[in-house]
Structure 1
Amino acid sequence: MGQVLVVGGANVDVVAQSTGRFTPGTSNPGRTYSSAGGVGRNIAANLGRLGVPTTLITAFGDDTFGRRLRDETAAAAVDLTHAVELPMPSGSYLAMLDADGELVGAVSDMAAAESLRAEHVPEDVVAAAAYVVLDANLSAELLEHVCRAAAAHGVAVVIDPVSVPKADRVLKALHAGPVHTITPTRTELVALTGEDDLDKGVAALRDLGVGRVWVREGASGSTLFAPGSSTHVAAIPADVRNVTGAGDAMAAAYVHALVTGHDDVTAARHGAAAAYLTITSEHTVRPDLTPALIGNVLKEPHS
């Protein structure tokens, strides 16, 4: 099995969920809890749970949050040899959910991840990977640097744009070398391309050398635009408990399937199953996630 290198953000998630309908502009009764998070960190932890040899390059702060992030990530069998500790607070993400587990709003402080520089990502570590997974919590310059190094060594790159405000950081990277897959939402696709039309937006990314555009639409499922084909992958109906981390699990299961020899569409279906398993759990990264668990979900009939 090929190795995967993940370069991206790590932060502590602080989640507040209302017990009733969320009312903006006032205090809502509910509950709060925290967990290790960050797009890159979550993807790496999911990959580790799935048995993929995974290295994570991220920035931890020199604080209690940083120690927690390091310990919980290492517990998922992720190699942190090249992760760095910086003299600053660790990243944090505050999410507000309604009673149904859907996101009402969020604020992220990813200054630590944005402080990573090219010297923190050695070219030989990139060259040793079968896939590199990047998230847009990184600076545009670092994204470009890693994509250029991956292109020089023929390493496949998967990019998660993370959010609309951060999607424009990806544009420089798309000019640095071919990208295997990019995973935008519809709104992130518009931010990346300026195109409101789905097909035109996908075509614009394909013109920039992106091999596969996997457009994610939450409960409506996702559509994988691969060379010569497009496939809609339905979301599995779920009793949602918490949407946090679903997209990260989706990306991880997709990459796991690719490195174990599955085709693109099968890999996307593995991603949908992992997303289902995550949103039906209270955990951002399910501690019991395994390839067998994903396989069982795919075998079950879903209406």
Structure 2
Amino acid sequence: MALNENERKVLDVIREDPFISQQDLAEAIQLSRSAVANIISGLVKKGHLLGKAYIINEERPVVCIGAANIDNRYIVQDDLIRNTSNNIHATSSLGGVARNVAENLGRLGEHVDLISIVGNDDDWKRIKDHSKYFIDLSSVTVLDNQATGNFIEIIGKEQEVLIGLSDMSIYDCLNLDLINKFLEKIQRAKCVVVDLNCSKEAIEFLQAFTRRYNIELILITVSTQKMVNLPDQLDGITLITKHDEMEDKFQRPVQTDQELKKMVQLVLNKGAKQVVISKDSDEVIYGNHESIQIFENPQYSKGHYEWGQNEALCGAMVYANFHHYEELGYDSIQVGLINAYLTLDCLQIVRPDLTPDKLKKDIENYFITDRKI
């Protein structure tokens, strides 16, 4: 369950001094002693504190590493006319693939840490003010001389992408030097999710590091331009990607079922444990070393734009792995897909009504067809 601001303050003080009195704790965070007592009681019920001794239940977190930025989308209302102004509908939302995955996990009650890099500006303040209720942001590096990442898409009236623009230069600093500062936190992780805004060198290091400590590693792609950061060998990882990004990376078509299957096999041959490739918003192919399946979106409508699809899929997949959904008869990929398709349906990057109970009800009421190929 996500923590509120006062709960986070109490835990931060207790981490510094586990033997602090309630009165001193109240003075440290400028609340009444009775208010602190209620907060501590709530933290015990939520499992973050073990009894009256202020023993912190240090649950192993999921660590997400990558982008936290602002997404701006401009939807053209009529046919685009060049060299003049056009009527648009403008939207702006929090983004960044790693941040989006982290919020999905946080809304599902997971303890999730974000390792990212941002500018000391209003965009970071906006990201922080929203994300702090779902994500531990203590490992986000703030730079005074850089701007928080920004992404812009111009979208046609049929929801087709006309052009994408990005100012992501800050992620040049998302490199091995930065990762090395957080190795103790990464070593404690029960799963690490990395987006391809991280440098190739950093990702290859994380491959070796997570393998050494037997930590699950998931790589999730972000754009065709960033596919240069995909490691040459994918030993033991889970790869979540899109068909057009794989087309660009390997210079081969990924359109038909057989082409999708060949691409999955190519990735598995590079050592991956499992592969997920989304083909727009209509179908997803999943493969491991036992089988390859295609799952169809029962609510697919042509031209539907895939806001947040793979991030929602990744977050719910990770959650399902740790909460025994296979005992209910659902594979983690099925749980991920249900969250992904319902995220598409709400047209927001992260479903605002996502909770563990809501996801369980969704699974009971949502049917996804699949076929082996």
Task: Give TM-score, length-normalised by structure 2.
Answer: 0.73
The verdict on how the C-alpha distance between 1:232 and 1:265 changes in structure 2, with shifts beyond 3 A counting, is farther
Matched, 1:296 2:361: yes
- Report the equivalent of 2:292: 230
- Report the equivalent of 1:159: 219
SS at match of 2:263: helix
Q: Deviations over 1:229-253 (max 9, x none)?
A: 1122221305788632222112111
Instruction: Map 1:31-180; keep pairs closer than 5 Å.
Output: 31-75=89-133, 77-86=134-143, 87-121=145-179, 122-172=182-232, 174=233, 177-179=235-237
Question: Counterparts of 1:238 and 1:202 in 2: how far apart (Å)?
Answer: 22
Higher relative contact order (CA 8 A, sep 6+): 1
Match of 1:249 among 302, 312, 319: 312
Deviation at 1:262, TM superposition (A): 3.5
Relative to structure 2, which stretch is displaced further, 57-66 or 230-239?
Answer: 230-239
Q: CA RMSD in A?
A: 2.5
Question: Counterparts of 1:213 and 1:24 in 2: how far apart (Å)?
Answer: 40
Question: Counterparts of 2:288 and 2:277 in 1: how far apart (Å)?
Answer: 11
Deviation at 1:24, TM superposition (A): 5.9
Question: Counterparts of 1:108 and 1:148 in 2: how far apart (Å)?
Answer: 30
The verdict on how the C-alpha distance between 1:301 and 1:255 changes in structure 2, with shifts beyond 3 A counting, is closer
Q: Deviations over 1:58-101 (max 9, x none)?
A: 011111111111222212x2111111002200000102223344
Question: Counterparts of 2:357 and 2:162 in 1: how far apart (Å)?
Answer: 33
The verdict on how the C-alpha distance between 1:21 and 1:51 changes in structure 2, with shifts beyond 3 A counting, is farther
Identity %: 24
| Count of paired positions | 299
Q: Deviations over 1:243-271 (max 9, x none)?
A: 32222112111111122233597222222
Task: Give TM-score, length-normalised by structure 1.
Answer: 0.89
Question: Counterparts of 1:220 and 1:107 in 2: how far apart (Å)?
Answer: 25
- Report the equivalent of 2:7: none
Larger Rg: 2
Question: Counterparts of 1:257 and 1:70 in 2: how far apart (Å)?
Answer: 27
The verdict on how the C-alpha distance between 1:21 and 1:279 changes in structure 2, with shifts beyond 3 A counting, is farther
Which AA in structure 2 matches 1:270? V
SS at match of 1:171: coil
Question: Counterparts of 2:300 and 2:362 in 1: how far apart (Å)?
Answer: 12
Question: Counterparts of 2:72 and 2:342 in 1: how far apart (Å)?
Answer: 21
Q: Deviations over 1:161-210 (max 9, x none)?
A: 212221121124x35x521x101222222344444443333222212210
Contact 1:62 1:89 in 2 (8 A): yes
Which AA in structure 1 matches 2:150? S
Relative to structure 2, which stretch is displaced further, 80-89 or 261-270?
Answer: 261-270
Structure 2 regions of 5+ residues with no counterpart? Answer: 1-58, 254-258, 369-373
Which AA in structure 2 matches 1:14? N
Runs of 4+ in 1 over 4 A off after TM superposition: 21-26, 238-242
Question: Counterparts of 2:340 and 2:199 in 1: how far apart (Å)?
Answer: 27
Q: Deviations over 1:264-300 (max 9, x none)?
A: 9722222222222222224322222123333333333
Which AA in structure 1 matches 2:87? P
